[in-house]
Amino acid sequence: MNSIRNFIEKLQNSDDTVKKRWLVIMSGLSMIIVIAIWLIFLNNSIEKIGEKKSNESETSFWQVFQTGLKIAGNSIKEKSADLIYKIIGEKTIIIE
């Protein structure tokens, strides 16, 4: 515990390049740990899904993806049509 405290104090008193080097090292180490935990969790989740597979007819990923694309495409088409109508709109000039 005392050695960790001494290391932190030594790091606080060092110049910026050393601090930045330790920042990069510790950030990389943290990322590796988080990704490793995520991969372990993902692997366990995939195994559980594989075990729970039933004999019912299931929709495939691509069917769901295709349906989602159709819905998103229709929504974008409607919104863009509304936007174009607002931009162009009815151009009327009233002369009095």
d(CA 53, CA 81): 43
Q: Which two tokens stand for residue 96?
A: 């009095």
Encoding tokens for residue 57?
């007819």
Q: How much is the pTM?
A: 0.45
Maximum separation of any 2 CA atoms in the chain, in Å = 89
Give domain limits for the chain.
2-88
Question: How confident is the model at residue 50, as a pLDDT?
Answer: 65
DSSP character at residue 14: S
As a whole number of angstroms, the distance between CA 94 and CA 96 comes to 6
- Which helix or strand (DSSP H or E) is residue 76 part of? helix 61-88
**pLDDT of 55:** 44
Instruction: pLDDT tens for the chain, 96 residues: list them.
Output: 789 899 999 999 999 999 999 999 999 999 999 999 999 888 888 777 666 665 445 667 788 888 889 999 999 998 888 887 777 766 666 777
What whole-number distance in Å separates Cα of residue 9 and Cα of residue 3? 10
* pLDDT (0 to 100) of residue 1: 77
